[in-house]
Amino acid sequence: MSASGTAAAGQVEHMLSQVTPGRYDAYEQLLHALADSRLWMLLWHGQAGSPDAQYGNMEVDGLGYAPCVTSAQELAVSGWNRAHEVIAGRDIARALYPDRWGIWLNPHAPGGGVGIPWPDLRRIATGLDRMPAGPLRLSEPGIQIPQFYALLTQNAHRTPAVRSLRRAWVQPALGTPYLAIGLDLYDTGQASVDAVRAMMQQSIAAVPDGLPVSTVAMSDEYDPVTMWLRANARPFYDREAHATAPVVPGAGYGYPPRA
């Protein structure tokens, strides 16, 4: 193993020792270390590189994980007597998260090791700084910004690519809370994406200073904010409902009145 590989493994194992319940800062540093490290994936069947190779699997709290160890030394300590595969952290993250599998680091260790669920593997695969640190607390926004919602709704109605809009207040485990706007589009071609980007830029002018606003695609089946919006948030703009709903005098923007 190279000196750089040994250093990366040492960093992962150091951060593993720092992770305790509630230490989200240490967990986030562990994710960064994993992205640049190598992992020893335990194979239940087959040999590394063979067509029948199959990772081990375990289930914790309803989520699936593939067990692995963080170094050749940990592999020896674990007593694993089947084959294994050495793979880069980002590569295993890219391979596992689409099937909603996480990894479990050093399950043989005192205390049982540490699990990295698939949403965090997705963050490693696509860029840790691009998505908020979990676990996320999501709720209906409590902040009152009617001018922004009014302008955004008007601009969405003028943007044919937009089917509907939803909203959520997102509080990451680390970082600043923000308003998320869920974009449900009829198509995701470049022309539509450019039109929606312009729509958001025009609407952001009505956002109070200091309020962060982000967008998520409602077509993203892996984004935790999108999943929450689908399950819990009604659209505050719905083109198809708007086209068929009767005009209600005095009705404002936001959730339509219930029938």
In-domain check, residue 250: no
pLDDT in tens, 105-150: 999 999 999 999 999 999 999 999 999 998 999 999 999 999 999 9
**Higher-confidence residue: 183 or 8?**
183
Q: Are residues 232 and 153 in the same domain?
A: yes
Chain centre to alpha carbon of residue 48? 29
Which residue among 126, 147, 162 closes a domain? 126
Give percent above pLDDT 70 in the chain: 90
| Residue 43 CA, distance from chain mean position | 27
- Asked if 228 and 168 count as a contact pair (C-beta separation under 8 A), the reply is yes
Q: Which two tokens stand for residue 31?
A: 């994710």
| pLDDT of 10 | 81
Helix axes 24-35, 118-126, angle to 10 degrees: 50
Higher pLDDT, 241 or 232: 232
Q: Are residues 9 and 121 in the same domain?
A: yes
Same domain, 184 and 89: no
Residue 251 pLDDT greater than 80, yes or no: no
Name which of 173, 61, 54, 188 is nearest 115 in CA terms: 61
Question: How many Å apart are CA 212 and CA 225, to the nearest integer?
Answer: 15
Are residues 169 and 198 both part of a single domain?
A: yes
CATH assignment of the domain containing 175: 3.30.300
- Tell which of 92, 126, 160 closes a domain: 126
Count how many domains the chain has. 2
Gyration radius of the chain's alpha carbons:
23
- Short-list 51, 37, 44, CA closest to 93: 37
The pLDDT confidence band at residue 7, using thresholds 50, 70 and 90, is low
258 located within any domain: no
Spatial distance between the Cα atoms of 71 and 18, rounded to a whole number of angstroms:
17
CATH of the domain at 25: 3.40.1350.90
**Would residue 111 count as lying in a domain?**
yes
Are residues 189 and 110 both part of a single domain?
no
One domain for residues 88 and 184: no
DSSP structural state of residue 107: T
**22 and 115 fall within a common domain:** yes
Structural domain for 100, as ranges: 3-126
Whether 234 is covered by a domain: the verdict is yes
- Whether residues 189 and 93 share a domain: the answer is no
Tell me if 132 is assigned to some domain: no
